[in-house]
Structure 1
Amino acid sequence: MKKQRPVNLDLTTIKLPAAGRASILHRITGVAMFFALLFVLWAWATSLSSENGFLYVKDVMQSGFGKFVIIGTLSALAYHIIGGIRHVIMDMGYWEELSSGALSANIAIGAWLVLTVLIGVVVW
């Protein structure tokens, strides 16, 4: 049995609603935090191994790459917390309508962008 379904392989033509973007960002930041945790654990273990290890991690964290990783990790954490709070509020029965859900998603994404800029200014 062959199904004749329309196929759209051009993903640039698909426009997700705000709630969809917020949900996907929440999942992406969760995965990003998992991989960032590998860097954090490495830095923690290396810095506790010896004085030279601590100085090496300090140099890495003060480099451009280290600052980029710190900003990315804190940005992912910030959005994941904001998105998580949004989901908890929705689980309590609020912001479930289309208009309020879209508004809360846009506010969450906007707050995340503002926090990311602030994190970047503070870290850099």
Structure 2
Amino acid sequence: MQTSKDMQTKKRPVYLHMPTIIKHLPIPGIVSILHRATGVALFLLLPFLLALLSGSRSSGEDFEYYKAWADNWFIKLILWGVLWAFIHHLFAGLRFLLIDAHIGVDLHTARKTAKWILYGAPAVAFVLGIFLW
């Protein structure tokens, strides 16, 4: 039988409160988490994006239908988010490839490149989104 002292020292499950954890993460950690999240999002959206591409290339009437469908402001906003996810995933992936090649592994450079990605990817997505809107 367990005593009350044994029950107090027993390891219990820990509640992981993500906003608190993310608030204390360094910028490279945030970029890493966003890289993983955008990878999952792009993977899950891939069938939808491929169907959109395939349908728009099948005939002129279908292209006009998909163009009219994509002119909705909400769909444009979603596609803008997909564009940001792709750019962030691309930039962060290139950063991780460089780190794997032992380029930019010192603390100062790693933080600087993480800031470039964290602020640069939305900026590039914004400019491209304005251009494509």
TM-score of the superposition, structure 2-length normalised? 0.77
Larger Rg: 2
Paired residue type of 1:13: T
Amino acid at match of 1:26: H
Q: 1:49 & 1:123 partners in 2: Cα distance?
A: 22
Q: Confirm or deny that 1:10 pairs with 2:17.
A: yes
Deviation at 1:20, TM superposition (A): 0.9
Q: When the two structures are aligned, how many residues end up with a matched partner?
A: 124
2:86 matches 1:77: yes
CA deviation map 1:43-98 (0-9, x unaligned): 12322444432221111122213312321222111111111111111111122223
Q: What residue in structure 1 maps to residue 77 of structure 2?
A: 68
**Distance in 1 of aligned mates of 2:56 and 2:34:** 32
Q: Which residue of 2 aligns with 1:35?
A: 44
Determine what percentage of the aligned residue pairs are the same residue.
34
63-72 or 101-110, which moves further after superposition? 63-72
Gapped regions of structure 2 (runs ≥ 5): 1-5
Larger RCO, structure (CA 8 Å, separation 6 or more): 1
TM-aligned CA distance change 1:117 to 1:45, over 3 Å: closer
Q: Does 1:44 align with 2:48?
A: no
RMSD: 2.3
The normalised TM-score by structure 1 is 0.82
Contact 1:71 1:123 in 2 (8 A): no
Which one is further off, 19-28 or 60-69? 60-69
- 1:59/1:18 CA distance change after superposition, 3 Å: same
Alignment of 1:44-123 (within 5 A): 44-123=53-132
Structure 1 residues not aligned, in runs of 5+: none
Asked if the contact 1:75–1:119 (Cα under 8 Å) also holds between the matched residues in 2, the reply is no
30-39 or 88-97, which moves further after superposition?
30-39
Compared with structure 1, are the counterparts of its residues 29 and 12 closer, same or farther at alpha carbon in structure 2 (3 Å cutoff)? closer
Q: 1:3 to 1:97 in 2, by over 3 A?
A: farther
